[in-house]
Amino acid sequence: MQRIGVFVCHCGTNIAATVDVKAVAEELKNEPGVVFTADYQYMCSEAGQNLIQDTIRNERLTGVVVCSCSPRMHEATFRKAAAKAGLNSYMVEVANIREQCSWIHKDKVSGTEKAIILARAAIAKVQLNAPLTPGQTPVTKRALVIGGGIAGIQCALDIADAGYEVDIVEKKSTIGGKMTQIDKTFPTLDCASCILTPKMVEVAQNEKIHIYSYSEVEAVTGFVGNFDVKIRKKARYVDETKCTGCGECTTKCPMKKIPNEFNMGFDNRSAIYIPFAQAVPKVATIDPDHCNMLKNGKCGVCAKICTANAIDYKQQDQIIEEKYGAIVAATGYNHIDVSKYDEFAYNQSKDVVTSLEFERLMNAAGPTGGHLKRPSDGRDPKTIVFVQCVGSREAPPCAKGGKEYCSKICCMYTAKHAILVKDHYPDTNVYVFYIDVRTPGKLFDEFYRRAVEQYGVHYIKGMVGKVAPQGDGTLMVQASDLIANDQLHIKADMVVLAAAIEPDKSARHLATMLTASMDTNDFFTEAHAKLRPVESPTAGVFLAGVAQGPKDIPETVVQAGAAASKVIGLLSKDQLTGNPCVANPDELMCNGCSSCEKVCPYGAITYADKEFRQPDRTVAIRRVAQVNPAVCQGCGACTVACPSGAMDLKGFTNKQIMAEVDAICR
Amino acid sequence: MQEAIIKRAKELLADGTVNRVVGWKAGDFAYDVTPAVFTSAEELDKDFLYNDFCAPNLSKYLIKESRKEGKVLVFLKPCDSYSFNQLLKEHRILRDNVYVIAIPCRGKVDIGTVRDSGIKGITDMECDGETLTIHTLYGDKTMSHADSLGDKCKTCKTKKHAACFDEMIGEEGEPNNDGKRFEMVEKLEAMTSEERFNFWRNELSKCIRCNACRNVCPACSCENCVFDNPASGIQQRAAVTSFEENMFHLIRAFHVAGRCTDCGECTRVCPQNIPLHLLNRKYIKDINEFYGEYQAGENFDERAPLNAYTFTDCEPDVVYKRGGNA
């Protein structure tokens, strides 16, 4: 028989105002196994904790029930207190009589009655509690950052700075991500390349960081502190160790008419290419879809002229296996495809461009050398219309591929575009159509106001209804001005669409491998929206950048640093203490049906063929479930999926739950 | 058909492909057919039966048989093949140790249906094509084959096998989509809750807890059934209250939900003629409505809706949307 002590907390007036705490303490004296009850103003205070510890010692308690706030709040506090007094931490249960009782009741009589019932349930559970001991697992002191954009770069640099090895896996042939394509950055208008490329070089030169460029994560197994990752290093048909990045091959390659992704297709590249001058690693890559040698076995020019002998047409994909203690998902974003938005004539006119395309048209390293020209005829645009929220903040069902959320960065970069245009070409008429202008951020609103007040950009609240290409090459923009309640017809030379951003398509597949959860928009979800914003619910997996939600560069860098600090915190440990409340299969009852394996969100369950002695003294081999306690997060999904009742959760056994229900229904 | 089956079984025994055969043989009465294991050509000649009375589903026997020495031959009717496939999916049968021959089925005569038609004192039955002749203490009676089928066969879901067999004797049939399968469930859903409660109290009050339904059910194949496990708190014993009587069947229906292939064995073996399969069919119908059409055992790889989550799954508020009666 347990000797249970019950401690009822007033929580100042939080509980005591709605629950008669003295009556609760008095009533619970009659419960089976209860040898001591008390009430106290603040159980979580030092004096409160001392009361618990003294009682454990004096009354030789074997179980403790604290009637207080949510266990999310102070369960850890009370468990630690009990452990200090020599009682196993897991012999402590919390009855939540604040959030689930006093805060939602007005009537003291019913509040008190409910508090007693909740406490009874906790007492019934403690009756069946058993001491639990968490296990220890070692930590592999190496981190994996998936995605080599600014988020991945910052995160890797910070982790390496703390002295840990980091690998970056980047699917493109260079790190740098979207920021390499951006011209200037708001709100200070410094050049994106100028602040990014030094960081890229820093990554390349850091001996703690290894870059797997042109590579993708193939498989992830294992668990926090002990991930086993397979990385597919795609064949680039160029030996990275030999290539000097001289670029000679790119000038001699005869296949020169391939749309250049880096410049959003505004100019061409060759089949063997280096995406841009500051690429890291600065190594050529052969595009197998366009290389004549790889497709037809004819050509071989690059191999002939390469003085470093780096070209290798027979190169194969390589699978690299590596162990990691922590993984950061920094997979970034893309613009949605705006071609379904017929009303904006994106498919019909070259002069309707997306914002990222506009970045290239403004960029000194872009296809026009930084001179803004109309893509159709090269003329200077005199009137430019910017359309915001193309595909953002859309009402369901979002049939054209739009998103219900706000893409967050568009208001600011559109203001930036408007300012840059007006700054370079003051005689240009610039219109911005918006639903709302959202500028929360340091110096953001000032920046936007500068566009309106100093540069005279016409901000018009309203959406563009139609963009119609005209015979003379102009674009007729029909829009409504909601404030003036007017219909506008603007003859524009260019239209720029601020397309919504969405997570990279590879993120969904990656999330499955990482058993990290995602929201309906395929953004990674964080363990807690406010309090654990850079951790995924899967232990050891962290989040950085737009993969977690739309954000701008400063926010991304902040988040990447935060993720890095979490990684460092994890890697600095030699051993990880697990959660002992994990699933525990009864092998004698297990049918080996795999139901639990299928519902396990963490991949914690595997199967083994084991020998069992049968009642008739024969030996039978049966397939039974095995739980890896280091991976199991104790969610309990398996226990309800198990048809035979073989799976149970330590600390929350089926019997304990039933005892709680019975106590409540008594 | 029986000759062809015996011939093939003998061949496979003779060439050593298998060392035993799971099939059917006559019980105390010709119409009372029982599953049996045959190990020689002589035994097959003497006892093996395949006729209009061979209703028992043989798939469950393979859980034990497939774990014995050597390969076992089994004959599966279309509905049995779904149970077999479902058991494979749950890793309950070792596929490599089983040789499966798919055989056709035109629906099996059900003694309960014959008795319900008012025929008493049955001593024997024989089915010749479309006519069933029933020998009774009061002289011979006849009935058409179609009328003599149990509900399981009258509302047959399919005459097409699940893709799990090594070879086939006879012709493959077609799925049956006449929608009659859920007619009775729909009737029950249309009742008021009081009517429905009374219907089930009436049916379940007949239960004698013989456990035949559980023992025959291919989905009820746990190593250690909760009703046999002293630690579960609900172990095997006679029902103390009538409420417990009802709960046994409801718990069982929940345990097999999503895995029940609707083979109808529970109702067929019930000595009290309780239409137990209606409980399972209600869950099947609900699963179809909540998560999209699903036939347990049809597909080896598909994830069962109760073990999967998709964004199109219904929300819990479906309970309110459907109203109190469903």
User: What secondary structure does DSSP assign to A559-579, as a single string?
Assistant: HHHHHHHHHHHHHT-SEEE--
Tokens of A323: 């162990």
What's residue B316's pLDDT? 78
Contact B311 A520 (CB under 8 A): yes
Listing DSSP states for A197-257 in one string gives: HHHHHHHHH-TTEEEETTEEEEEEEEETTEEEEEEEE---SB-TTT-----HHHHH-S---
B142 CB-near residues (< 8 Å, 6+ apart): B131, B132, B133, B134
B contacts of A592 (beta carbons < 8 Å): 90-92
What is the C-alpha separation between A278 and A516, in angstroms, rounded? 34
For residue A101, give the DSSP letter. I
Q: Choose among A598, A622, A623: nearest Cβ to B307.
A: A598
Cβ distance B90 to A594 less than 8 Å, yes or no, reads yes
Residue type for A576, please?
A: L
pTM over 0.90, yes/no = no
Lowest mean per-residue pLDDT among A195-204, B25-34, B99-108: B25-34
Q: pLDDT value at position B237?
A: 62
Which of A522, A586, A589 would best serve as a mutation to test chain B binding (most B beta carbons within 10 A)? A589
Within 10 Å of residue A463's Cβ, how many Cβ atoms? 16
Task: Tell me what percent of the residues of chain A surpass a pLDDT of 90.
Answer: 90
Q: Are A494 and A448 in contact (CB under 8 A)?
A: no
What confidence tens digit (pLDDT) does each residue in B128-178 have?
A: 888 999 999 998 999 999 999 988 888 888 999 998 899 999 989 888 877
Residue B326 pLDDT exceeds 70 = no
Residue A101 and residue A94: Cα distance in Å, rounded? 13
Answer yes or no: do B311 and A620 touch at CB < 8 A. Answer: no
Residue A478 phi/psi, 5° resolution?
A: -100, 130
- Does residue A147 or residue B245 have the better pLDDT? A147
Burial class (CB in 10 A: 0-12, 13-18, 19+), A184: buried
Q: Summarize pLDDT for A344-366 with one digit per residue, the tens.
A: 999 999 999 999 999 999 999 99
**A335-502 and A583-650 share one CATH topology?**
no
Q: Cα dihedral sign for B194, B198, B199, B204?
A: positive
Higher pLDDT: A279 or A1? It is: A279
Structure tokens at A10: 């007033």
Cross-chain residue pair A658–B233, CB shorter than 8 Å: yes
B307 to chain A: closest CA residue: A599
Q: At what angle do helices A410-424 and A355-362 cross, to 10 degrees?
A: 30
How do residues B47-89 score in pLDDT, each as one tens digit?
A: 999 999 999 999 999 999 999 999 999 999 999 999 999 999 9
Name every chain B residue with its beta carbon within 8 A of the beta carbon of A599: 307
Q: CB neighbours (10 Å) of residue A530?
A: 6
What is the residue-averaged pLDDT of chain A?
A: 95
Length of chain A equals 666
The class that CATH gives domain A583-650 is alpha beta
Question: pLDDT above 70 covers what percent of chain B?
Answer: 96
CB contact under 8 A, A641 and B307: yes
Q: How far is CA A457 from the centre of its chain?
A: 36
Q: What is the 3-state secondary structure (H, E, C) of A499-542?
A: ECEEECCHHHHHHHHHCCCECCCCCECCCECCCECCECCCCCEE
pLDDT in tens, A106-142: 999 999 999 999 999 999 999 999 999 988 889 999 9
CB A521 within 8 A of CB A125: no
User: What does the pLDDT average to over B303-326?
Assistant: 77
Contact flag B255-A623 (C-beta cutoff 8 Å): no
Asked if the Cβ–Cβ distance from A644 to B303 is below 8 Å, we say no
Please report where in the chains the tokens 């040898």 appear, as a residue.
A35
CATH T-level assignment (fold) for domain A136-234+318-332+509-577: FAD/NAD(P)-binding domain (3.50.50)
Under an 8 Å CB criterion, which residues of A touch B?
520, 588-595, 598-599, 607, 620-623, 641, 643-646, 655, 658
Partners of residue A622 in chain B, C-beta under 8 Å: 223
Q: What percent of chain B has pLDDT over 90?
A: 58
Q: What is the pLDDT of residue A299?
A: 93
Task: Flag if A591 and B221 touch (Cβ within 8 Å).
Answer: yes
Chain A residues in contact with B91 by the CB 8 A cut-off are 591-594, 607, 623
Task: Count contacts between A and B (CB, < 8 Å).
Answer: 53
User: What is the domain partition of chain B in residue ranges?
Assistant: 1-110+149-178, 179-326
Asked if the Cβ–Cβ distance from A643 to B303 is below 8 Å, we say no
Taking the C-alpha atoms of residue B75 and residue B64, their distance in angstroms, rounded to an integer, is 16
Assigned token pair, A363? 């960029």
Dump pLDDT digits (tens) for A213-260.
999 999 998 888 999 999 999 999 999 999 999 999 999 999 999 999
Q: Tell me the β-bridge partners of A367.
A: none
CA torsion sign, B207 to B209 to B211 to B214? Answer: positive
The confidence score (pLDDT) of residue B37 equals: 96
pLDDT at B197 over 80: yes
Contact A620 B67 (CB under 8 A): yes
Distance (Å) from the C-alpha of residue A652 to the closest C-alpha of chain B? Answer: 15
pLDDT of residue B315: 80
Contact flag A591-B92 (C-beta cutoff 8 Å): yes
As a whole number of Å, the end-to-end CA separation of chain B is: 44
Residues of A in contact with B224 (CB under 8 A): 588-589, 644, 646
pLDDT at A62: 96
Q: Searching chain B, which residue's CA lies closest to the CA of residue A655?
A: B232
**pLDDT tier at B235, thresholds 50, 70, 90:** low
Inter-chain residue contact B91 with A593, CB threshold 8 Å = yes
Option in B91, B222, B307 nearest A644 (CB): B222
What is d(CA A390, CA A402) in angstroms, rounded to the nearest whole number? 8
Q: What is the pLDDT of residue A602?
A: 80
Per the CB < 8 Å rule, is A520 touching B221? no
pLDDT of res. A489: 96
| Of residues B223, B307, B308, nearest to A589 (C-beta) | B223
Q: Chain B residues contacting A, CB < 8 Å?
A: 67, 89-92, 221-226, 229, 232-233, 255-256, 259, 303-304, 306-308, 311
What pLDDT, in 10s, does the model give residues A477-501?
A: 999 999 999 999 999 999 999 999 9
**Which H or E run includes B48?**
strand B48-49
User: Which residue is closest to B254 within chain A, CA to CA?
Assistant: A643
Instruction: Determine whether A149 is exposed, middle or buried from the number of CB atoms within 10 Å of its CB (0-12, 13-18, 19+).
Output: buried
Angle between helices B183-190 and B277-291 (to 10 degrees): 90
Binary contact (A592, B308; C-beta < 8 A): no
Q: Cβ of A598 and B303 within 8 Å? A: yes
Helix axes B242-256, B193-204, angle to 10 degrees: 100
- Domain A335-502 CATH superfamily: FAD/NAD(P)-binding domain (3.50.50.60)
Of B229, B255, B311, the CB nearest to A643: B255
> CA nearest A597 in B: which residue?
B307
Task: Report which of B9, B161, B163, B15 is spatially closest to residue B73, judged by C-alpha positions.
Answer: B9
Answer yes or no: is pLDDT of B324 > 60. no
Q: Of A17, A23, A12, A11, nearest to A119 (Cα)? A: A23
Give the minimum alpha-carbon distance from A525 to chain B in angstroms, rounded to a whole number: 16
Return the residue matching tokens 């498989």. Answer: A219
Q: Check: CB of residue A101 under 8 Å from CB of residue A18.
A: yes
Nearest chain A CA: its distance from B309 CA (Å): 9
C-alpha to C-alpha distance for A138 and A221, rounded to whole angstroms: 16
CATH fold label, A4-128 = Rossmann fold (3.40.50)
pLDDT tens digit sequence for B258-301: 999 999 999 999 999 899 999 999 999 999 988 888 999 998 88
- What confidence tens digit (pLDDT) does each residue in A374-429 have? 999 999 999 999 999 999 999 999 999 999 999 999 999 999 999 999 999 999 99
ipTM over 0.90: no
Question: Where exactly are the structural domains of chain A?
Answer: 4-128, 136-234+318-332+509-577, 235-316, 335-502, 583-650
Residue A522: count other Cβ atoms within 10 Å of its Cβ: 15
A639 pLDDT more than 80: yes
CA distances to A131, A603, A652, B185 from A581, in Å? 11, 16, 7, 42
Distance from CA of residue B194 to its chain's centroid?
A: 30
Are A592 and B91 a contacting pair at CB < 8 A?
yes
What is the reported pLDDT for B236?
Answer: 58
Architecture of domain A235-316: 2-Layer Sandwich (3.30)
Please check the confidence at residue A457 and state whether its pLDDT lies above 70. yes
Q: Are B90 and A658 in contact (CB < 8 Å)?
A: no
How far apart (Å, rounded) are the C-alpha atoms in residues A429 and A488?
A: 15
